[in-house]
Structure 1
Amino acid sequence: MVEQAQGSVGGNSDYDAVGGGAAVASVVDLFYRKVLGDPQLAGYFVDTDLTRLKRHQVQLVSQVMGGPVTYEGADLAEAHKGRGITDEDFGQVVVHLVHSLEEHEVPADIVGRVVTALGATQADIVTAS
């Protein structure tokens, strides 16, 4: 299960504060360019339907930010089962996400809430030591 970040700016959700769906999609696009360009991580995405994956990631980030979107992808534990993802790999993904959010000038407090919410999924995603 994915937690929703509990922040709001001026009565609006974090999703609204960053510019809504188009902004989240742009962050996710940049995020995957970074991840796929990272030799440590790129191998996890061989034979992956990237269009579908990006759509699910947009849903996930949108939901975490309090947007009017519900994540409809597979259960995170099931989706990552058997992939051999390490804590180091997970941390590297977080670094790319933070940089992608920062490059889109997302305020630090919102970045922090997103990272905290997604960090709560680490136990579901990390399957190797």
Structure 2
Amino acid sequence: MAERTLYEKYGGFSQVSKIVLSFYDTLLDNDDIGPFFDEVDMSRMVDHQTKFIASLLGGPASYTDKQLKQLHSHLDINDAHFDELEVVLRATLIDHGVADEDVEAVVAEFAKRRPLIVG
């Protein structure tokens, strides 16, 4: 039998949604990152981000590298911002009971996308 993905292990879409909502609660309070979302439709953003995080957990992939690059190209995201996102992602996953080795696996997948997201 095939090994379960982290996406399945941690309860699929509904659980990923909860993780993403917590992630944004933290980010929106962040002085450096929060302003990126001032003019953003947050319900759409949460939907997109839930799909993205789901894909990092081995769930259904929804974004190509090209799409990720395009979606972020107009934003002035630098390495410090990305580092902060990584810190918040790690903390949020831990808060939601994701095991340490699984947190590291997800953060590693996220880190691979850095060149697509940092301007």
2:71 to 72, 79, 88: 79
1:23 to 15, 31, 36: 15
Q: 1:30 is matched by which residue type in structure 2?
A: S
- State the percentage of identical aligned residues: 26
TM-score w.r.t. length of structure 1: 0.84
1:108–1:22 distance in 2 versus 1, CA, 3 Å: same
5+ unaligned residues in a row in structure 1: which ranges?
1-9
Deviation at 1:82, TM superposition (A): 2.9
2:58 pairs with 1:66: yes
TM-score w.r.t. length of structure 2: 0.91
Spell out, residue by residue over 1:39-71, the C-alpha distance to the aligned partner (whole angstroms, 9 max, x if none): 11011111101111111111111112122x332
Q: How many residues align?
A: 117
5+ unaligned residues in a row in structure 2: which ranges?
none
Higher relative contact order (CA 8 A, sep 6+): 1
Match of 1:91 in 2: 83
Deviation at 1:72, TM superposition (A): 5.0
Measured on the aligned residues, the alpha-carbon RMSD in Å equals 1.7
Query: Contact between 1:31 and 1:97, CA under 8 Å: does it hold in 2?
Result: yes
1:54 to 46, 49, 54: 46
Match of 1:40 in 2: 32
